[in-house]
Amino acid sequence: MKPARFDYERPRDLGAALELLAGENVTAKVLAGGQSLGPLLNLRLVQPDLVIDITAIPEMIRVEQGVDHLVLGACITHADIEDGRVPDVTNGAMRDVAAGIAYRAVRNRGTIGGSLTSADPSADWVSALAALGAEVVLRGPGGTRTLAIDDYIIGALETSLATGELLEAVRIPRLSKTARWAYVKKCRKTGEFAHAIGAILIDPSAATARVVIGAIDSAPIVITSAAELFGGRITGDYKDRFDARVADVLLAKAGVSNPAHRHIHVNVLKRAVREAAA
């Protein structure tokens, strides 16, 4: 099957893109890398009147490093991150995540912003960036606003993007030197969608932890104060203190009713805890 007919525009600045997106009586879709949008067009699951290619807009490929954060434009590719063409403020965490996304051909074209806008529950950046405490910068007719990833992703394939808004950039906080990180996903084979994702960012020195359970049929479970998973406190022996029963209860509350599915998710998270402690 081939896409239905649509018009194509490649604006050179953000203002022009927003103007096109706000056009009356026009259904528009934004193209960044096309690795998510392309299949939807081919299957005619989306049939826009207009496709707006944002890859020529300077703001969408910008890289800005601050003292405590890194800003990546929405059109930065997975390969840009994997190959170290952009700075890494996560002690290698983002490079490892990028390297595990699908196949190299996908990583060459796919973008961090495109992945987040699609909000596929099994997409790597959806869970990984939530665990890293990242934020998205959204630009629309009313100006700019910033949201935490876990406020931006509100459901499976559902985001907080308002009508006429674009995801302009992602803001990633710099990890401390004492922070430990792990990201584990379960796939039947390389390149397939993940069936379970576990991500953990833990710093025993600061007694803090963020834990994410992803690839469920909704927004990821983001536990920003994760002491309950470790017997009520986060200490250096967190690997031994991890309580799988608490994780199982959280999954059940999130609507994962099948015990076998919960078992897979819990064991993936358990593996992430072990890897963070390694």
Q: Tens-digit pLDDT profile for the chain (278 aa)?
A: 788 899 999 999 999 999 999 988 889 999 999 998 888 899 898 899 999 999 999 999 999 999 999 999 999 999 999 999 999 999 999 999 999 999 999 999 999 999 999 999 999 999 999 999 999 999 999 999 999 999 999 999 999 999 999 999 999 999 999 999 999 999 988 778 899 999 999 999 999 999 999 999 999 999 999 999 999 999 999 999 999 999 999 999 999 999 999 999 999 999 999 999 99
Q: Contact 91/179 with Cβ under 8 angstroms?
A: yes
Number of helical H runs and strand E runs in the chain:
11, 14
Identify the bridge partners of residue 211 per DSSP, sorted by sequence position: 200, 223
Helix, strand, or coil (residue 214): strand
pLDDT of residue 40: 86
Q: What is the pLDDT of residue 192?
A: 83
Determine which helix (DSSP H) or strand (DSSP E) holds 263, and give its type and residue range.
Answer: helix 259-277
63-75 as b/e: b if 16+ CB within 10 A: eeeeeeebbbbbb
Place of tokens 């890897």: 275
**pLDDT score for 106:** 95
Distances, alpha carbon 38 to alpha carbons 2, 117, 159, 258, in Å? 10, 14, 19, 33
CB 74 within 8 A of CB 114: yes
62 Cβ neighbours under 8 A, 6+ residues apart = 71, 72, 73, 169
Please state, in angstroms and rounded to a whole number, the distance separating the CA atoms of residues 107 and 102: 7
Q: Give burial (CB, 10 Å; 0-12/13-18/19+) of 256.
A: buried
Tell me the residue type at 216: I
CA pair distance 205, 109, nearest whole angstrom: 39
